Structures are given as structure tokens and as C-alpha cells.
């Protein structure tokens, strides 16, 4: 459970900052998607933008935690890994 807190709480905070900086310079009524103007309400654009920022920053936080695993956790023998008993073929 704590792992998810490490991922989603910092990504939530950085999504707020990213959203504020992005929409401080970009008017949501002037956005274009695939060459056509976006006719959504400003609230829908802000919400979608926030969720996209949150998803992107959550992905980067998850990647950081994934790549910070200690080497012995990644390289330990197969027999000592969780679920290894289920992976062995029956003789």
C-alpha cells in the first residue's frame, strides 16, 4: 500500500504544478486537436489536462521506483522468488 502512496501522492502534487504552469500560458479555448479546434468546456479541458499530467507523472514515479530496486532483489535465484513453487513443472 505504501508503494502506491509513493507513486500517486508526489505525482498528484506535480500534476497540480504542471497544470498551473501549462494553463498559465495556454488558453483552453485556443487548443487544437489533430488540426481542429477543441469545443469542450474549459472545465472539461482543465480536468482532462490534469488527469493527463497526473497519469504521466505517476508513470514516471512508478518507473523511478521500479529502477530503484536493489540488485539482489532482481537477481536472486528463482527458488527464492515469491510464487516460485507454482512455476516449477511437475515431474
Residue-wise pLDDT for 3-39, tens only, equals: 888 899 999 999 999 999 999 998 888 888 888 888 8
CA distances from 15 to 12, 31, 60, 66, 82 (A): 5, 19, 12, 20, 34
The string of DSSP letters for 15-26 reads HHHHHHHHHHH-
- The answer as to whether 18 is a domain residue is no
pLDDT tens-digit profile of 34-78? 888 888 898 998 999 999 999 999 999 999 988 888 877 777 776
- The answer as to whether 78 is a domain residue is no
- The answer as to whether 10 is a domain residue is no
In the chain, how many H helices and how many E strands? 4, 2
Q: Which domain holds residue 47?
A: 27-66
- The answer as to whether 13 is a domain residue is no
Domain count, the chain: 1
- The answer as to whether 3 is a domain residue is no
Sign for the CA dihedral angle at 66, 69, 9, 82 comes to positive
Q: Whole-structure pTM over 0.85, yes or no?
A: no
- The answer as to whether 34 is a domain residue is yes
- The answer as to whether 20 is a domain residue is no
Amino acid at each position: 500500500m505504501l508503494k502506491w502512496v509513493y507513486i500517486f501522492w508526489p505525482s498528484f502534487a506535480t500534476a497540480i504544478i504542471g497544470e498551473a504552469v501549462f494553463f498559465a500560458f495556454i488558453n483552453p479555448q485556443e487548443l487544437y486537436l489533430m488540426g481542429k479546434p477543441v469545443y469542450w468546456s474549459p472545465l472539461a479541458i482543465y480536468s482532462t489536462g490534469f488527469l493527463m499530467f497526473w497519469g504521466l507523472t505517476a508513470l514516471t514515479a512508478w518507473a523511478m521506483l521500479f529502477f530503484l530496486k536493489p540488485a539482489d532483489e532482481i537477481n536472486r535465484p528463482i527458488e527464492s522468488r515469491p510464487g516460485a513453487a507454482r512455476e516449477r513443472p511437475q515431474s
